Amino acid sequence: MSTVAEEIPPQVPSLPAWPAAPEPVDETGTSFLVLAVGSHPETARVAGEWVAHAEALAPTTLGTLDAIDAAEDRVTFEALLGRARTGVRVMVVGGQYDVLQTLSLLRRRGALEAELRAFVTDDREIPVYCAHCQTTFRAATAPGGEATCPACERRLEVHEHLAVLLGSFLASDAEATTL
Amino acid sequence: MTLQQTPRPDLHQRADEYVGHQHPAYALGRRPLRVTGLTRLTDRILHVELADPEGRPLAGYQPGSHVVVDAGEGRRNAYSLTGDGVNPRRYGISVLRLDDGSGGSAWLHDHLTLGGDLDVEGPRSMFPAVHDQQHALLVAGGVGVTPILSHARAIARAGGSATVLYSYRPGHEAHLDDLRALCSDRIHLVEATTVEETGTALAALLASQPFGTHAYACGPAPMLDAYERAAAVAGWPVGRVHLERFVAPELDPGDPFTATVASTGLAVEVPSGVSLLDGLLAAGVPVNYLCKQGVCGECRLPVRTATALEHRDFVLTAEEKAAAAHIMACVSRGRDVEIDL
């Protein structure tokens, strides 16, 4: 087995910078949608604090989802967003996988950064995007680590590159330079 | 193995007039177009249709674009195009006669004839649609209906959805029939004929738009101010609130300051009451300009350094103003401004 020598240009990481503590509610909003995803105890606590603050300002809706991928939860998400009016501020709390995928859905529906708040309770899992078969999957790894694509079964290297709109980290064949 | 990329040969920007072997619709430079239609929409608004004299296709454009037309005696005026911009065979503009203006609109009303030629430059896009809008709230006041009609037509063509608010004085409702003709289950029109009705409709509509809506407004300054205030009250982030002004408010004369041209070191003293643009032109520094009201964006200049910049234009975004890298020479001022020319 030999390895092809290749000069790889220096990588410029693009990684999410999560706030250390939940950001305060944006008081310029005229309604609020709090999305709590997953069962982490911190998720319920942060969502509760946001709801308590937001309710005092304007009409507030709390959506609790088990996982953003679950079909039932996706229906709930779409219904909540369908009822939302421009002027709303959307606040998402949960594990890193669910938060990134939820933000992705929101951004694809035209959400502006000024309308979004996010807090990550744990970074144990991340969304990984397989560059080869274009599958996005949940993996207990981190940028710089490895994961196996469930669709094409390639061993993937997860790059320090978050595609914000896709809400996932780019990954490519970890053994691609091995002949 | 080292991968080397062949550097791309420099792509020189082609002269606007030069189209060469490209499709004729690439022509955007100043060129004569034939007047193929003149329709009086109201006693003061004339709709002008323009086509290529040879019958060739015209350049397509983003909704909300405008053209710059020769308006006699060296004047050049900008007018919004009213079409959807897709593969146009004709350009349509609607000219409001302003007898207290610089005389350009009156000249167009008095001198345009069917079959005659009119020099046209553009189209240029200064008021485009946001590509991922989920819905559009379109707000028109008076002759500001022209770019709004363009947006509505483009949305109708693309199968999108929009809510249109048209505020007009009865008897001066240019293009109302065009907007009514666009109405469908996806395009709704709300009409308002008084300031109060307009204000009430603005507040109600801004409070009820679906998530992901972008709003676009064009009209007189008081209506645009009311629109911006109502949008802020309704909680809309500024990134969703777009507008195009055709008349800028009066500005105070400002303090005198010095502008330096970076390449030559030429220092230009700009007195109070004189614009940076006029100061530079008087000193022989060529600067393109058009509206001289901080609206059109033509005189945008790069700034290398400045002790202070006082942005008074309606072109730069809040972020661009904060970045202090550009100045609109016709209205904005500053202190010790080094222009990167």
Domain limit, last residue, from A122, A139, A164: A122
So what's the ipTM on this one? 0.90
Q: Is the pLDDT of residue A2 over 70?
A: no
pLDDT at B150 over 50: yes
CA-angle at B81, arms to B28 and B321, nearest 5° = 80
Task: Tell me, yes or no, whether A69 lies in a domain.
Answer: yes
Mean pLDDT, chain B, as a whole number? 90
Secondary structure class of A154 (helix, strand, coil): coil
- The answer on A130 and A118 residing in a single domain is no
- Does A30 contact chain B (CB < 8 Å)? yes
pLDDT at A159 over 50: yes
Query: Which tokens go with B199?
Result: 């204000």
Among A5, A81, A86, the residue with its CB nearest the CB of B240 is: A86
Q: How many CB atoms lie within 10 A of CB B19?
A: 17
On the CB side of A53, CA atoms within 13 Å amount to: 18
Q: Is A1 on the interface with B (CB under 8 A)?
A: no
Question: Which of the four pLDDT bands, split at 50, 70 and 90, describes residue A5?
Answer: low
Contact B235 A114 (CB under 8 A): no
Q: What is the pLDDT of residues A8-17, one digit of tens each?
A: 777 788 999 9
Q: Which of A6, A30, A109 sits opposite B134 (nearest CB)?
A: A109
Minimum distance, in Å, between the CA of residue B209 and any CA atom of chain A: 5
A104 and A39 assigned to the same domain = yes
List pLDDT tens digits, range B29-52: 889 999 999 999 999 999 999 999
| pLDDT(B11) > 50 | no
Question: Which of B133, B210, B235 is nearest residue A29 as measured by Cβ atoms?
Answer: B235
- Nearest Cβ partner for B234 among A87, A108, A112: A87
Domain total for chain A?
A: 2
Contact between A110 and B212 using a beta-carbon 8 Å cutoff: yes
Amino acid code (one letter) for A7: E
pLDDT tens-digit readout, B232-266: 999 999 999 999 886 655 678 888 999 999 999 99
Q: What is the mean pLDDT of chain A?
A: 94
Q: Are residues A43 and A115 in the same domain?
A: yes
Task: Answer yes or no: is A57 within a domain.
Answer: yes
Is residue A109 one of the residues assigned to a domain?
yes
Look at residue A110 and tell me if it is in a domain. Answer: yes
CA of B320 vs chain A CAs: smallest distance (Å): 17
The letter for the amino acid at B165 is L
Q: Are residues A133 and A116 in the same domain?
A: no
Which pTM does this prediction carry?
A: 0.85
Whether the per-residue pLDDT at A32 is higher than 90: the answer is yes
Same domain, A96 and A151: no
Distance CA B297, CA B287 (A): 12
Q: Are residues A109 and A69 part of one domain? A: yes
Asked whether residue A25 is assigned to any structural domain, the reply reads: no
Residue A16 lies in a domain: no
* Cβ pair B90, B36 in contact under 8 A: yes
Cβ contacts of B1 on chain A, cutoff 8 Å: 4-6
Q: Which residue has the tokens 């896009």?
A: B125
CA atoms within 13 A on the CB side of A58: 20
Q: Are A63 and A137 found together in one domain?
A: no
Q: Do B210 and A84 touch (CB under 8 A)?
A: yes
Least confident of A76-85, B14-23, B192-201: B14-23
Is A44 within a domain?
yes
Single residue among A122, A142, A162 that ends a domain in this structure = A122
Contact between chains at A7 and B212 (C-beta distance less than 8 A)? no
- Host domain of residue A146: 126-178
Residues A138 and A164 in one domain: yes
Same domain, A167 and A135: yes
Domain annotation covers residue A12: no
CATH number at residue A173: 2.20.28
Q: Would an 8 Å CB–CB cutoff place B168 in contact with chain A?
A: no
Say yes or no: A71 and A146 in one domain: no
Helix (H) / strand (E) element for A158: namely: strand A155-163
The answer to whether residues A65 and A139 belong to one domain is no
In contact, A158 and A169? CB cutoff 8 Å: yes
- Are A138 and A66 in the same domain? no
